[in-house]
Amino acid sequence: MTPAAGSPMPKVPEVSASSRFGNSEPPRTIGDAEFARFQAWIERESGIFLPDSKRTLLIRRLGRRVAELGLDSFAAYYRRARELGESETIVMIDCLCTHETAFFREAKQFELLATRILPAWKAEAEAGDRPRRVNAWSAACSTGEEPFSLAMMLAANLPAEEGWRIEILASDLSTRILALAREAVWPAERAAAIPESYRKRFLLRGRNLQEGKVKAAPELSALVRFERINLAAASYPVETALDLIFCRNVLIYFDPPTRKGVIARLARHLKPGGLLFLGHAENLAGAAGPDFRPEAPNVYRRTSPGEPVTALRPPVVR
């Protein structure tokens, strides 16, 4: 399908690079006791551990929110945020999260899918050894480039006309970022990493007020659904057993006990033989238990009962 260039696209929500401050200037320091309170609160609510080396990051990012509320200190913000409850907790976590992403980021992992995993699934389906269905999860999807990259690759290689059904869950901790991801609209320059055949088939080009932007075609958007999920929660609202989980560049923000718990919960949602994709600086050493064996660098296969497990590599320090 080649989309019409003039198809209508919704207006992209504007995201300001800086907050509109109230009467206060952002605070420039935070005391040890105050920082410790935020450390404990942030880790309890999100699983994200902020070491002392991230104190400057907290001051810079959260200070804008403090000023936006017309407050003059982190102590005052802590009291106000606790009064406001869950809604402000979500805003606070959103201020601190890093949302770096790109289409077909860590290209070797997508190459693995295209050259080894998907051809094997097609052969198994033709032999009657697996259903023509793929369920995937992009955990920490940011502004949507990752789940839509996955949707393009799956739709192109496992066509609906051959009976394949694809469903991708895309989740993030940030409600603001999820709203942007749902729009599925990006600056055109971000699409440069997308293979040309995919761009022609799956993207609409903006015209007039949307000049310089691209949008996922309806065919693609129909494959992706969005939900806010906190990976540090005790359980996940994921009801379908999954073939693929992309959880990339997330585990690095958790301390070892939290990381181990997240991996165990992810394993419960993967089918035996399903694949877990991590970021380039992440691996499962010391946290995988008996559930995974290495498939490729930073890619792990969920083991079947009784299957021997290969020793995992030690963590890579970067």
Question: Residue 253, exposed/middle/buried by CB under 10 A (0-12, 13-18, 19+)?
Answer: buried
* Active-site position among 94, 172, 243, 291: 172
Q: In Å, how far from its chain's centre is CA 166? A: 18
Contact between residue 183 and residue 10 where contact means Cβ atoms under 8 Å apart? yes
Residue 172: active-site member:
yes
Label the pairing between strands 270-277 and 242-246: parallel
Contact between residue 39 and residue 74 where contact means Cβ atoms under 8 Å apart? no
Contact between residue 278 and residue 284 where contact means Cβ atoms under 8 Å apart? yes
Label the pairing between strands 270-277 and 213-216: unpaired
Q: How many Å is the maximal CA-CA distance in the chain?
A: 68
Label the pairing between strands 165-172 and 224-228: parallel
Residue 243: active-site member:
no
Between CA 186 and CA 195, with CA 190 as vertex, the angle to 5 degrees is: 115
CA distance 198 to 99: 24
CA distance 203 to 272: 34
Q: Is 210 helix (H, G, I), strand (E, B) or coil?
A: helix
* Active-site position among 61, 65, 105, 248: 61
Reference 12, options 221, 181, 199, 220; nearest CA is 181
List the structure tokens of 169: 């869950």
CA dihedral 79, 84, 87, 88 (to 10 degrees): -30
Contact between residue 68 and residue 22 where contact means Cβ atoms under 8 Å apart? yes
| Residue positions annotated with a catalytic role | 61, 172
